[in-house]
């Protein structure tokens, strides 16, 4: 499917979702739908489900009732920019940790059996529970005579905690992907473990690394937003979500503007991962088949 068709399909999906939203507001029950005493569909009243036009009006409205105040949309974009920086930091840190774990796990099967289950189990720990712990531990750290642990550093660490697992699992699978015949060919040419890793296993892992990085990007954004909410870190969209949720009674549209901003932030980070794939990983993958070991040995 071409890029234009994919973009058109995405726009049609958004339009269908908006139409479904407005149809439920118009014809849905005011008290929502309940099954077994639990509400499974939301209320259709204006406070619970503001209309699309109401959300758009709230986006361009001033955030505070003072002359020269910026709009809600500008506040959301500014907060999203702050979260973007911490999410990118967590994404990069998580990717480095994931690769650093995958390489020795591929080399030593005993290490893989010992570490990989804990890598997977780490993702079952609720981030909202460990975020205060990370913030508390960070507050006791001293990075030097003049440097102290900053709140945004805790957000980066928590974001990386969610991002490293997809990279570690995907990278490990990619490092194991070369056929045994290819590995034996390299070994028959007296290739060292480093040469097998750099010339064979790493290029073979690129198709597995690209989707892992995209998944890690989405996880990093979720981790950054949850960390901002849990630790009370200001300047990001997570804290803004809490603030607008407290104003939902008088201005319900603001909360949905912030939610849309958080969703757009996830798309931006995932788009950056896609650009990295297109600019770095795929060109490297296209060059890989042209590099074959020489009959008499391998270059260093």
Q: How far apart are CA 261 and CA 246, in angstroms?
A: 17
Q: Is residue 164 part of a domain?
A: yes
Which pLDDT value is given to residue 104?
A: 93
Cβ atoms < 10 Å from Cβ of 91:
29
- Collect the ranges in the chain with pLDDT lower than 70: 1-3, 142-146, 280-300
Report if residue 297 sits inside a domain.
no
**Distance of alpha carbon 178 from alpha carbon 194, whole angstroms:** 15
Q: Which two tokens stand for residue 9?
A: 């399909």
Whether residues 5 and 136 fall in one domain: no
Query: Do 122 and 211 lie in a common domain?
Result: yes
- Domain hosting residue 24, numbered range: 1-29+42-49
User: Cα 253 to the chain's mean position, in Å?
Assistant: 25
Indicate if 12 and 94 belong to the same structural domain.
Answer: no
pTM of the model: 0.81
The answer as to whether 196 is a domain residue is: yes
Asked if 235 contacts 82 with a C-beta cutoff of 8 angstroms, the reply is yes
User: What does the DSSP assignment read for 45-71?
Assistant: STTTS--HHHHHHHHHSBSSSSTTPPB
H or E element, residue 166: helix 151-175
- What distance, in Å, lies between the first and last C-alpha atoms of the chain? 41
Per DSSP, which regions of the chain are E strands? Answer: 33-35, 38-41
Q: Is the same domain home to 10 and 140?
A: no
Find the CATH number of the domain harbouring 148. 1.10.3720.10
The CA-based diameter of the chain, rounded to the nearest angstrom, is 78
Question: Tell me, what's the pLDDT at 89?
Answer: 93
Residue 276's pLDDT is: 78
> Does 299 fall in a domain?
no
298 lies in some domain: no
Task: Give the separation between CA 105 and CA 118, rounded to whole angstroms.
Answer: 12
Rounded Cα gap, residues 118 and 249, in angstroms? 43
HSE of 28, CA atoms in CB hemisphere, 13 A? 20
Q: Which residues pair with 71 in a beta bridge?
A: 62
Query: Under a CB-based contact definition with an 8 Å cutoff, are residues 166 and 127 in contact?
Result: no
What's the pLDDT score for residue 31?
A: 81
Q: What are phi and psi of 56, to 5 degrees?
A: -65, -40
Does 90 lie in the same domain as 19?
A: no
Q: Do 117 and 218 share a domain, yes or no?
A: yes
Beta partners for residue 46, in sequence order: none
Is residue 300 domain-resident? no
- Residues 15, 90: one domain? no
Q: What is the per-residue pLDDT for 90?
A: 93
109 shares a domain with 16? no
Contact 125, 56 (CB under 8 A): no
Q: Based on the domain organization, do 3 and 74 belong to the same domain?
A: no
Q: Are residues 166 and 252 in the same domain?
A: yes
Mutual angle of helices 252-276 and 52-60, in 10-degree steps: 80
Number of CB atoms found within 10 A of residue 300's CB? 7
Q: How would you class 102 by CB atoms within 10 Å of its CB: exposed for 0-12, middle for 13-18, buried for 19 or more?
A: buried
What does DSSP assign to residue 30?
A: T
Listed residue (42, 15, 27) closest to 255, CA to CA: 42
Spatial contact of 204 and 178, defined as CB atoms under 8 Å apart: yes
Q: Are residues 24 and 82 both part of a single domain?
A: no
Number of Cβ within a 10 Å radius of residue 56: 15
- At residue 285, the pLDDT reads 54
* In a shared domain, residues 19 and 125: no
Q: What is the pLDDT of residue 47?
A: 79
How many domains are there within the chain? 2
Q: Is residue 35 assigned to a domain?
A: no
Is 173 domain-assigned? yes
């Amino acid at each position: 499917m071409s890029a234009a068709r994919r973009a058109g399909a995405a726009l049609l999906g958004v339009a269908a979702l908006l139409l479904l939203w407005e149809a439920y507001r118009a014809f849905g029950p005011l008290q929502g739908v309940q099954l077994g005493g639990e509400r499974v569909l939301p209320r259709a009243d204006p406070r619970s489900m503001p209309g699309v036009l109401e959300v758009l009006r709230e986006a361009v409205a001033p955030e505070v009732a003072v002359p020269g105040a910026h709009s809600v949309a500008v506040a959301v974009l500014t907060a999203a920019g702050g979260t973007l920086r911490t999410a990118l930091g967590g994404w990069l840190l998580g990717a480095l940790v994931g690769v650093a774990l995958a390489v020795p796990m591929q080399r030593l099967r005993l290490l893989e059996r010992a570490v990989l289950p804990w890598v997977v189990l780490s993702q079952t720990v609720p981030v909202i529970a460990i975020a205060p712990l990370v913030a508390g531990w960070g507050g006791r750290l001293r990075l030097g005579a003049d440097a102290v642990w900053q709140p945004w550093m805790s957000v980066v660490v928590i974001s990386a905690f969610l991002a490293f697992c997809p990279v570690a699992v995907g990278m490990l699978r990619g490092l194991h992907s070369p056929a045994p015949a290819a590995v034996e060919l390299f070994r028959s040419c007296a290739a060292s473990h480093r040469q097998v890793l750099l010339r064979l296993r790493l290029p073979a892992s690129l198709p597995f690394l690209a989707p892992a990085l995209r998944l890690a990007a989405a996880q990093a954004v979720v981790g950054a937003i949850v960390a901002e909410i849990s630790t009370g870190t200001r300047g990001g969209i997570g804290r803004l979500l809490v603030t607008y949720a407290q104003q939902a009674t008088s201005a319900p549209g603001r909360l949905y503007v912030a939610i849309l901003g958080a969703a757009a932030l996830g798309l931006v980070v995932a788009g950056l991962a896609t650009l990295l794939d297109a600019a770095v990983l795929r060109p490297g993958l296209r060059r890989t088949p042209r590099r074959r070991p020489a009959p008499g040995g391998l270059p260093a």
